[in-house]
Amino acid sequence: MTRNKEYIPLKYRPRRFLERHGSRFLAWLVRVVLPRNAAFKLADGLAFLVWYLLPKHSRLAQQMIYYAFGDRYTPIERREMARRAYRNLVRAMLDFLRFPRLSREELLGLCTAVEGWENLETALEQSPGAVIGLAGHVGNWEYSGAYLPARGIPLAAVGREQRETAVTGLMLQARSAVGIEHIPRSKHGNRRLVECFRRKDGVVGLLADQNAGKAGVFVPFFGRLASSFRGPAHFALRYNLPVVPIFAVWDGAKYKMIILEPVEIVRHEDMEEAIRLTTANFQKVYEQIISRYPDQYLWAHNRWKTRPPGE
């Protein structure tokens, strides 16, 4: 019996072909051929091409910066910030693809400093189960995940499959190589997620800084209501788990780990209100770290795309 293949409309086939074979070729280059400094030069060239070949995304990034900061930055500054963000993003992705070739010592050697490690240690000691690691698309979020298993702390991360299966495979391979357990968004994944929440001395990584669509909860993000994922707040409230923000930001050509104090979990007799207030606290944390490192955020994403009913 032949296996049904995914139907891809003709106009999307060149892009899917490029995603499939381009990602495999890049992974081979950075893992086998290129040293890290050469991989960064390649990343800078790719970022330059993406900037000019995808002007729609370039304009979106600048628009999102304006929505977040208003007139704090001039149009020229917003443009340069968006370009640096593109460069940092592509560097982070190619660095991530290199993870399977790195030893534990080499991986830890990419970190220049750790700010707030005691916040995570205290949360692990006091939690009745796991700690929710609140990550975001700042700096290199893949490194922030890889760093924890390298320090001996089990990490499970919920991940979304990419449009192209080859890309998903490369990502899962890289995460598995550094000891990250992947939890898919599925019924089986949900059961495993609950098991991980109840596991003592581990971290469950969740990203909640992007548009959550119609199922999200609307809370302020840089002064504008934005649909935000309710999952981290729901799980923290249901399982009584601390939520510790964990980020890896660029520090020259390496990374600085930033681990903040646990975020306030708001209790309320109305569960939906508790989720809303707690989610708002999470978004405030994102605002703070993005404001500190504005050229390290993934701006080419329409954070305010989904609007509240009636708006």
pTM of the model: 0.92
> Taking the domains of the chain in order of start, what are their residue ranges?
14-296
Between 212 and 309, residue with greater pLDDT: 212
Across 23-29, average pLDDT: 88
Across 30-39, average pLDDT: 94
**Confidence category of residue 15, pLDDT binned at 50, 70, 90:** low
pLDDT of 12 above 70: no
Residue (of 65, 88, 67) closest to 77 by Cα position: 65
pLDDT of 236 above 90: yes
Mean pLDDT of the chain: 92
**Confidence category of residue 226, pLDDT binned at 50, 70, 90:** very high
pLDDT of 96 above 80: yes
Residue 69 and residue 45: Cα distance in Å, rounded? 28
Across 193-219, average pLDDT: 95
**Confidence category of residue 3, pLDDT binned at 50, 70, 90:** very low
What integer pLDDT is reported at residue 23 of this predicted model? 83
Q: DSSP readout, 30-41?
A: IIII--HHHHHH
The pLDDT tens digits for 44-88 are 999 999 999 999 999 999 999 999 999 999 999 999 999 999 999
What integer pLDDT is reported at residue 16 of this predicted model? 66
What integer pLDDT is reported at residue 281 of this predicted model? 98
What integer pLDDT is reported at residue 6 of this predicted model? 60
The length of the chain, given as a count of residues = 311
pLDDT of 21 above 90: no
Per cent of the chain over pLDDT 90 is 82
